[in-house]
Structures are given as structure tokens and as C-alpha cells.
Amino acid sequence: MTDFVEAGKASELEEGTKRAVEVCGTRVLLIGSGGKYYAISNRCPHLGGNLSQGHLQGTVVTCPVHGSQFDITDGHVIRWLKGSRPLQAISKMLKRPKPVATYEVKIADNKILVEI
């Protein structure tokens, strides 16, 4: 069974910003983008890079470790690793691309509620 748990205050998460939090033992990245709020795993599914330290542009977050990119709206992979095509091909054979986990978000009374 899942529950919505308070993860932060909407007024404290400005447009185009991100904040790492822990919700019920899960490392979550809260993101404000396009007037909406999103919650994704703070760990890159490739090697566990800390996505809160990565670059955010619109609805795309880039892992600071190997440059993988994910769409924060649904977690799908935009780019699996940054580098030359041969390096990408070898890396994909060793570890297949996986989306980043996403969590449903609701806003109530200025609270960001994340379904965990």
C-alpha cells in the first residue's frame, strides 16, 4: 500500500530548481518546472549518480557522473551515457538503459505530497 507523504513546501521550491530529500527512507529529488512539481529518484539508474548534483534544463535532468539524461515528467531515458558512439554501444551491452523512477505528486495547503 502506498501513501502520500509530505516531502517539502511548495513555496520553498522555486521554478527551475531541485532539492534532494528523503521520504520514508527513499532518496527523492523534488523539482519545480513549468509551474508543476515532480518527484523522481535521486539516484541515476546507471551507477547511482546523485541527480541533485546534475544539470536541470526544463524537464530534463542530466546525471553528473556519465551524462545520462532523463525526462522528469515520466522518467524515460533521453540519452543513456554521454560520449562516443562506440563507448555508448559497449556501455549499452553491459548495462541496458533504464528509466529513472518517478513518484506521483500532489499539492495541498502548500505541502508537496509524494506517493511512496
Query: pTM of this prediction?
Result: 0.88
Q: Which one is predicted more confidently, 32 or 96?
A: 32
Here the cell at position 55 is: 544539470
- Integer Cα distance of 44 and 1 in angstroms: 25
From the number of C-beta atoms within 10 Å of its C-beta (0-12, 13-18, 19+), residue 29 rates as buried
Whether residue 105 has pLDDT greater than 90? yes
CATH homologous superfamily of domain 4-115? Rieske [2Fe-2S] iron-sulphur domain (2.102.10.10)
Give the pLDDT confidence of 54-82 residue by residue, as tens digits.
Answer: 999 999 999 999 999 999 999 999 998 87
User: Which distant-in-sequence residues (6+ apart) come within 8 Å of 59 by Cβ?
Assistant: 33, 34, 38, 71, 72, 73
Task: Parse the chain into domains and list their residue ranges.
Answer: 4-115
Strands 4-9, 105-108: pairing is unpaired
Half-sphere exposure of 43 (CA within 13 A, CB side): 7
Here the cell at position 83 is: 560520449
71 DSSP β-pair partners: 60
